[in-house]
Amino acid sequence: MALPLVSIRKLTLEASTPRGTARILRGIDLDIGRRRIVGVVGESGSGKSSLAACLIGLLPANLSRIGGEIVFDGTDLLALPEAAMDAWRGTRIAMIFQDPMTALNPLFTIGTHLVDVLRRRHPGLARKAAKARAIAALESVGIADAPLRLSSYPHQLSGGMRQRVLIAMALLVEPDLLLADEPTTALDATVEAQIVALLEDLRRGFAGSIVLISHQLGLVAQLCDDLCVMYGGTVVETGPVAEVLGAPRHPYTRALLACELDDDAAAGARLVAIPGDVPDPVSAHVACVFAQRCPHATDACRSAVPALRDAGPGRQAACVRWEELAAPAAPGMRQ
């Protein structure tokens, strides 16, 4: 198998809080393959946005410690000095943020945003050439009257148009790694469908890798090649998206799927929920993070942290019992 673009190993992230040290990431191992779209799913507090923040080097101010390594094409990003990391952002790594309202500067036109991005990527690019490429980029994301739109300000555009502009900006960078943090969450349903269709179109012509962070399993199933399921600051399962969703190995993945309401359940059937609460980030990391809520937890799960280990071709799961639970007779999570 080709060397992955990014190899994350034992990535830990801790932050100081009034209550003590919060373990936001508890040892993440994840490979991002070249030209792959990796969907990262998890509930709030699972660490998925923090993972993206580590990848692009934009970390919260109360951060107290970061450990492990993020090897990006042979370079450990965590070992890079701040100035060097700065040079990577907007050139080799780009990001589409969740809220297109706040990600654009209200004082600058759309054209200024696009040309800025281009001139950062290609210093010395002539203004005229930059403008032509900006127009082409707007057209490629389905914005009508692109030459006119260059002189529009963000407030003159609708939410869907702004998200298209952000996608155009990210594509102009031609990054090796594109991070998209809930890119459709702030949009209305029919506009979201447009952006999803656009992303599906664009992925074919995109040479880099994409990390798509989402809480919607359905969206990830539709757009991604690989899936990474996070829980409590750990990766609990990874693998090709169809395999993971078709036959999940980790009880949490199974529980998450059971909570999806898209089944044709009998009228009046109880809705499925996972009892209990997400783990406290301040708690010590001495057991499986899901053990408290897992119906299959044993003493072994409560006494040691399970390693992320092979669970089929290209798949990994952090569960000591996945083999026996995957056996056909194993009780499912569905109630």
Partner 1 sequence: MSAGGPPQGARPLGGAARSAVRGEHTSATDPALVEFDGVSVVFDGRVRALDDVTLAIGKGEIVGLVGESGSGKSTLCRVLVGLTRPSSGTVRVGGQSVAQHLEQEPLAFRRRAQMLLQDAVASLSPRMTIGRALEEPIAIHNLPRTETLRVLAAILQRLGLPQEVLTKFPHQISGGQARRVGVARALLMRPEIVVADEPTAGLDVSVQGQLLNLLLDLQQDFGLTYLLVSHNLNVVRRVTGRTVVMYLGQIVDEGATRDLFAAPAHPYTAALLSTNPAVDPRKRYEPIVLQGEIPSAVNPPSGCRFHTRCPVAQPRCATEPPVLREVDAGRRVRCHFPFSLERRRH
Give residues in contact with partner 1 (CB under 8 A): 43-44, 158-161, 188-194, 196-197, 215-219, 221-222, 245, 255-257, 259-263, 265, 267-268, 270-274, 277-278
- Our CB check for partner 1 shows the closer of 1 and 189 to be 189
- Our CB check for partner 1 shows the closer of 3 and 197 to be 197
User: Least distance to partner 1 from the beta carbon of 189, Å?
Assistant: 5
Angle, helices 127-140/110-121, rounded to nearest 10 degrees = 110
User: Least distance to partner 1 from the beta carbon of 192, Å?
Assistant: 6
- Our CB check for partner 1 shows the closer of 271 and 329 to be 271
**Is residue 326 helix, strand or coil?**
helix
Asked if 78 contacts 68 with a C-beta cutoff of 8 angstroms, the reply is: yes
How buried is residue 261: exposed, middle or buried, by Cβ count under 10 Å (0-12/13-18/19+)?
exposed
Asked if 250 contacts 237 with a C-beta cutoff of 8 angstroms, the reply is: yes
User: Least distance to partner 1 from the beta carbon of 101, Å?
Assistant: 13
User: Least distance to partner 1 from the beta carbon of 293, Å?
Assistant: 8
- Residue 241 corresponds to which tokens in the numbers above? 């998206």
Asked if 96 contacts 175 with a C-beta cutoff of 8 angstroms, the reply is: no
Measured over the CA atoms of residue 99, residue 102, residue 103 and residue 109, the dihedral's sign is positive
How buried is residue 68: exposed, middle or buried, by Cβ count under 10 Å (0-12/13-18/19+)?
middle
User: Least distance to partner 1 from the beta carbon of 141, Å?
Assistant: 14
- Our CB check for partner 1 shows the closer of 17 and 222 to be 222
User: Would you list the DSSP string of 125-179?
Assistant: --HHHHHHHHHHHHHHTT-TTHHHHTT--GGGS-HHHHHHHHHHHHHHH--SEEE
User: Least distance to partner 1 from the beta carbon of 310, Å?
Assistant: 24
- Our CB check for partner 1 shows the closer of 61 and 271 to be 271
Please report where in the chains the tokens 């759309």 appear, as a residue: 110
User: Least distance to partner 1 from the beta carbon of 100, Å?
Assistant: 13
- Our CB check for partner 1 shows the closer of 278 and 311 to be 278
- Residue 251 corresponds to which tokens in the numbers above? 């009880």
Asked if 42 contacts 231 with a C-beta cutoff of 8 angstroms, the reply is: yes
Task: Give whole-number Cα distances, 159 to 99, 115, 173, 242, in Å.
Answer: 9, 21, 22, 31
User: Least distance to partner 1 from the beta carbon of 191, Å?
Assistant: 6
DSSP state of 61: T
Interacting residues of 326 by C-beta distance below 8 A, sequence separation 6+: 247, 249
- Our CB check for partner 1 shows the closer of 259 and 330 to be 259
User: Least distance to partner 1 from the beta carbon of 167, Å?
Assistant: 16
- Our CB check for partner 1 shows the closer of 197 and 307 to be 197
**Is residue 59 helix, strand or coil?**
coil
- Our CB check for partner 1 shows the closer of 156 and 303 to be 156
